[in-house]
């Protein structure tokens, strides 16, 4: 069972989960439909988990969707030779590691801030990738 303080401080992560809407719309606008659909499923799994983040199926589903989304995005990175994506991805992974470390030490508020930073960076990175794909697919 999750610590009540953990649940109370996780609300901002729930709100930053909604940022994926911008990646969905941006991908759709540039007709990158596969990534838009993957992001739609990611949005649904993320808000489903972060509305009440407890261990179990919903968490595992969210982690699975993050993995699938990342694999699809990395495929497009490779397909379009847009390896700059990897820089922000590494910073995002570092933010995730810091978040988990802080949460393990029960520093929940700061841990959730770093997880929210991960959400923000991932969506910024998607904007850059989708713009690059749009510029190089014509």
The DSSP code sequence of 85-130 is HHHHHHHHHHHHHHHHHHHHTT-HHHHHHHHHHHHHHHHHHHHHHH
At 53 the pLDDT is 94
At 114 the pLDDT is 97
Backbone phi and psi for residue 55, each to the nearest 5 degrees, phi listed first: -60, 145
At 25 the pLDDT is 98
**pTM, rounded to two decimals:** 0.93
60-99 as b/e, with b when 16 or more CB fall inside 10 Å? ebbeebbeebbebbeebbeebebeebeebbeebeebbebb
Long-range contacts of 81-87 (CB under 8 A, 24+ apart): 82/128, 82/129, 82/132, 82/133, 82/136, 84/128, 84/132, 85/125, 85/128, 85/129
Tens digit of pLDDT at every position of the chain (138 positions): 468 889 888 999 999 999 999 999 999 999 999 999 999 999 999 999 999 999 999 999 999 999 999 999 999 999 999 999 999 999 999 999 999 999 999 999 999 999 999 999 999 999 999 999 999 986
- Return the closest-CA partner of residue 46 out of 70, 18, 6: 18
């Amino acid at each position: 069972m999750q610590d009540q303080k953990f649940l109370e401080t996780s609300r901002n992560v729930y709100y930053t989960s909604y940022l994926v809407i911008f990646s969905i719309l941006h991908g759709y606008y540039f007709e990158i439909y596969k990534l838009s659909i993957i992001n739609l499923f990611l949005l649904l799994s993320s808000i489903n988990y972060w509305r009440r983040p407890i261990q179990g199926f919903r968490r595992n589903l969210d982690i699975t969707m993050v993995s699938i989304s990342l694999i699809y995005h990395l495929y497009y990175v490779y397909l379009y030779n847009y390896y700059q994506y990897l820089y922000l991805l590494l910073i995002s992974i570092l933010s995730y590691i810091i978040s988990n470390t802080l949460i393990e030490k029960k520093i929940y508020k700061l841990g959730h801030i770093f997880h929210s930073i991960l959400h923000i960076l991932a969506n910024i990175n998607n904007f850059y990738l989708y713009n690059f794909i749009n510029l190089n697919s014509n």
